[in-house]
Structure 1
Amino acid sequence: MRAVLFDLDNTLFDHLTSARGGLDTFVRNFGVELTPELARSWTEIEQVNYDRFLSGELTFQQQRRERLRQFLPLSGIPNANDATVLDDMFDVYLRSYEHAWTAFPDAVPTLQRLRGSGTRVGVVTNGSHEQQAKKIHRIGIEPLLDLFCSSEQMGHAKPARSAFILPCEKMGLSPSHVLYVGDNFRVDIEGARTAGLQAIHLDREGADQPKTLRSLTDLIPLL
């Protein structure tokens, strides 16, 4: 194994915790208490509209507006159809979300050990290149990466084969010499295996299945 590539959100970067922290601050600005039901609705709405962005149906900014259009009526916060108003409201959430950005505790130690063993390390992620780059810098993993590729930069989103093949080509490695680690089985694992990479699923909830990690620290003994 010559290199290990990682997904970013919910693999190295704790998106769910960061998003819930940002959402809690956001709704409290409007006098609303964040309930488990609201948090779950936000996550579901986010995923649906983010997938629409990845498919090219919406721009990155449009998917943000759609998320608010669908979420605000559920929260009791007055809705708005004006794009400028929605953008301003999302900026309030975004500042809170960014303030809550955090890496999983096992992210930095795992990357350090891989680099220390001579293994090349990279991130291949779907999403806005600018935002994903900011996350990588803010959570402290930027100096530990040999490669960073986003779907926006490549023009291909996971699980497309090209989203995995292009990073391997950039490193000058055959896909069979590269391992991919991610939390989304369909997008990350099936996509990587279809492209010829080896892949290991990360399930922090503790699913006990072959080739499944509960923590990134479990990866080192396997390699």
Structure 2
Amino acid sequence: MRDRAQALLIDLDGVLRRWDPAPMIAVEVQYGLKPASLLETAMSWDIYRPAMAGEITHAEWMKLVADRLPLDGEEATAAVAEWQAYRGEVDPDALAFVREVRAAGRKVGLATNATDLLRGDLDLLGLTGEVDLILNSWELKVHKPAPEYFQQACVAIETVPKRVLFVDDDDRVIRGARVAGLSGYRWAGPEHVPYLRKVLDLPM
């Protein structure tokens, strides 16, 4: 039987923060862009990776996105700015779970691939004080699912990997966490919170 987890590392996007697609769709309709073209362009690996690894700033990343859109310069810049104005929403179920874990005396770290905008976003969303520490790939200069990311995260949360529960919505990242020795669990909503409570040995 695995050791009970004593600390939680939890992802931001797709777990603690959710995104309504409507604002992006509205921008794409307004500017005559193909559906999902903004997100697909932003996620192009050659510009996404350096943005997550702290090699370029969020502003530089978005400039590269704008440069690749089939619009003239001013239109492309405006479209990206309007898309980026929406910063997502807090998932109340995930936040309730985080609060429960901390109330039980367990440390919680926010473990996310993000840019230099992260801390401002957390302030905006009211999440800054909801976790014990923030593990931002942009600041660590290494992104999930690299083993070095999980090594640094466990050192920061002062817990050995086998005693850390990692929750994310990306299967590839979960596999990386497990290879690094953590207990990895894919978040699909609050229905499995009772199981996660058991993994962390929380009072029922």
Classify the TM-score, shorter chain: 0.7 to 0.9
Match of 1:220 in 2: 197
Q: What is aligned with 1:3?
A: 7
Take 1:172 and 1:56, find their aligned partners in 2: how far apart are those partners? 24
Deviations 1:18-45 (A, max 9, x none): xx23324434655x5x8xx61x333333
1:12 corresponds to: 16
* Correspondence for 1:198 among 166, 183, 188: 183
Higher mean displacement: 49-58 or 135-144: 49-58
**Which residue, out of 105, 109, 121, partners 2:92?**
105
Aligned mates of 2:191, 2:119 — CA distance in 1: 26
Aligned ranges for residues 20-99 of structure 1 at < 5 Å?
20-27=21-28, 30=31, 38=35, 40-48=36-44, 49-51=47-49, 53-54=51-52, 60-70=58-68, 72-73=69-70, 79-80=71-72, 82=73, 86-95=76-85, 97-98=86-87
Does the C-alpha gap of structure 1 residues 87 and 153 become closer, same or farther in structure 2, counting only changes over 3 Å? same
Paired residues in the alignment total 194
For residues 94 and 105 of structure 2, the distance between their equivalents in structure 1, rounded to whole angstroms, comes to: 17
**Bigger RCO (CA 8 Å, 6+ sep):** 2
Report the 3-state secondary structure (helix = DSSP H, G, I; strand = E; otherwise coil) of the residue aligned with 2:17.
Answer: coil
* Structure 2: stretches of 5+ with no match in the other structure: none
Once the 2 structures are TM-superposed, how far is the Cα of residue 86 of structure 1 from its aligned partner? Answer: 4.3
Q: Structure 2 counterpart of 1:9, which letter?
A: D
CA contact (8 A) 1:22 1:94 kept: no
Distance 2:8 2:100 in 1: 12
Distance 1:152 1:92, change over 3 A: same
Where structure 1 has 5 or more consecutive residues not aligned to the other structure, the ranges are 74-78, 205-212
- The answer to whether structure 1 residue 180 and structure 2 residue 157 are counterparts is no
Amino acid across the alignment from 2:84: L
Letter in 2 for 1:41: S
Residue pair 2:99, 2:130 contacting (<8 A) in 1 also: yes
Partners of 1:144 and 1:57 lie apart in 2 by: 28
Pairwise CA distance, 1:124: 1.1
Corresponding residue for residue 161 of structure 1: 147
* Residues 110 and 217, structure 1, Cα contact 8 Å, conserved in 2: no
TM-score normalised to structure 1 length:
0.73
Contact 2:51 2:138 in 1 (8 A): no
1:219 counterpart letter in structure 2 = L
Matched, 1:122 2:120: no
> Is residue 106–residue 217 contact of structure 1 (8 Å, CA) maintained in 2?
no
Identity, in percent, stands at 25
* Larger helix fraction of residues: 1
Q: What is the CA distance between 1:66 and its match in structure 2? A: 3.7
Residue type of the alignment partner of 2:171: F
1:106 is paired with a residue whose SS is: helix
Shift of 1:171: 2.2
Task: State the AA in 2 paired with 1:112.
Answer: R
1:54 CA drift (Å):
3.7
Q: CA 1:52–1:170 in 2, change beyond 3 Å: closer, same or farther?
A: closer
